Amino acid sequence: MEYAIEFGPQVVLPVAESSKLFPVGRIYCVGRNYAEHAREMGHDPEREPPFFFMKPADAIVPSGATIAYPTGTKDLHHEIEMVVAIGKGGANIAPDRALEHVFGYGVGLDMTRRDVQGEAKKMGRPWEMGKAFDQSAPCSALKPVAMIGHPAKGAIWLKVNGKTTQRGDLSELIWNIPETIAYLSKLITLRAGDLIYSGTPAGVGPVNRGDRLEGHVDGVGDLSLTYAN
Ligand code: MN
């Protein structure tokens, strides 16, 4: 087969302690999945059904990168999240079978143009340009389930220039990982290679040029990212 145009390479993430790469398919993100974050965004954290949005696979940025402050915003925000990497696809997955579909976990950032998202919300328009822009999905190397199991509790935090801004615990997820996979798989057929950004704890805030971000999820690992001056 020959393509009619030049086409970019498959987006991949490294797998920890392995020479193998994880091919990234689609990126799904869960909105407002920690109660304190729902409150800080002005919503009642009552257990309403989870909702999802997407980012393109090529929004992935590997840990350790230095990247440019994005265009089109004056209010870039960080959202530290645990990332679930799907190893086996499926539809209508039962919660008690959901973890069988997980390849592994990573530490990710759902970078957000908060001003653009806010304007979209106000106008009743789609969120994409606030969420699904270039380099908006930094992610660490993935740790396979065989190495770390399925983290369900433990600290998740983010530091900006050494100062802790976000802090929570995986046990505080409103919709836990099996429930999230089950719910999403009723809406779309999950495929091997899909990533799910599982939501962010409270403390989201602005990122400026020159800032260094360090994220951590207990049992999963660390992520670092620097914005160029
Ligand atoms: Mn998020």
Q: Rounded to the nearest whole angstrom, what is the distance from the C-alpha of residue 88 to the centroid of ligand 1?
A: 23
Q: Rounded to the nearest whole angstrom, what is the distance from the C-alpha of residue 131 to the centroid of ligand 1?
A: 9
Contact 181, 84 (CB under 8 A): yes
Distance of CA 71 to the CA centre of its chain: 20
Share of the chain above pLDDT 70, in %: 100
Q: Rounded to the nearest whole angstrom, what is the distance from the C-alpha of residue 3 to the centroid of ligand 1?
A: 35
Contact 35, 44 (CB under 8 A): no
pLDDT confidence of residue 60: 98
Q: Rounded to the nearest whole angstrom, what is the distance from the C-alpha of residue 80 to the centroid of ligand 1?
A: 7
Confidence of residue 94 (pLDDT cuts 50, 70, 90): very high
pLDDT (tens digit per residue) in 6-32: 988 999 999 999 999 999 999 999 999
Amino acid of residue 160: V
pLDDT confidence of residue 114: 98
Q: Rounded to the nearest whole angstrom, what is the distance from the C-alpha of residue 44 to the centroid of ligand 1?
A: 17
Q: Which residues contact 63 (CB under 8 A, 6 or more apart)?
A: 107, 138, 139, 140, 141, 222, 223, 224, 225
Q: Rounded to the nearest whole angstrom, what is the distance from the C-alpha of residue 16 to the centroid of ligand 1?
A: 24
Average pLDDT over residues 76-82: 98
Q: Rounded to the nearest whole angstrom, what is the distance from the C-alpha of residue 5 to the centroid of ligand 1?
A: 34
pLDDT confidence of residue 37: 83
pTM over 0.95: yes
pLDDT confidence of residue 155: 98
pLDDT confidence of residue 198: 98
pLDDT confidence of residue 72: 98
Q: Rounded to the nearest whole angstrom, what is the distance from the C-alpha of residue 30 to the centroid of ligand 1?
A: 6
Task: Check pLDDT > 90 for residue 42.
Answer: no
Q: Rounded to the nearest whole angstrom, what is the distance from the C-alpha of residue 164 to the centroid of ligand 1?
A: 18
pLDDT confidence of residue 44: 78
pLDDT confidence of residue 47: 76
Architecture in CATH for domain 12-227: Alpha-Beta Complex (3.90)
Average pLDDT over residues 46-58: 92
Instruction: Dump the DSSP string for 140-182.
Output: --BEEHHHH----SSEEEEEETTEEEEEEEGGGBSS-HHHHHH
Contact 140, 108 (CB under 8 A): yes
Q: Rounded to the nearest whole angstrom, what is the distance from the C-alpha of residue 48 to the centroid of ligand 1?
A: 16
Q: Rounded to the nearest whole angstrom, what is the distance from the C-alpha of residue 2 to the centroid of ligand 1?
A: 38
Q: Which of 5-14, 18-27, 37-46, 186-195 has the lowest mean pLDDT?
A: 37-46
Contact 186, 28 (CB under 8 A): no
Average pLDDT over residues 39-45: 83
pLDDT confidence of residue 104: 98
Q: DSSP letter at 189?
A: -
Average pLDDT over residues 48-59: 95
pLDDT confidence of residue 46: 73
Cα–Cα distances in Å, from 4 out to 1, 161, 216?
Answer: 10, 46, 42
Q: What's the mean pLDDT when you consider all of the chain? A: 96
Q: Rounded to the nearest whole angstrom, what is the distance from the C-alpha of residue 203 to the centroid of ligand 1?
A: 12
Task: Check pLDDT > 80 for residue 179.
Answer: yes
Task: Check pLDDT > 90 for residue 210.
Answer: yes
Instruction: Dump the DSSP string for 92-152.
Output: S--GGGGGGGEEEEEEEE--EEHHHHHHHHHHT--SHHHHS-TT-EEE--BEEHHHH----
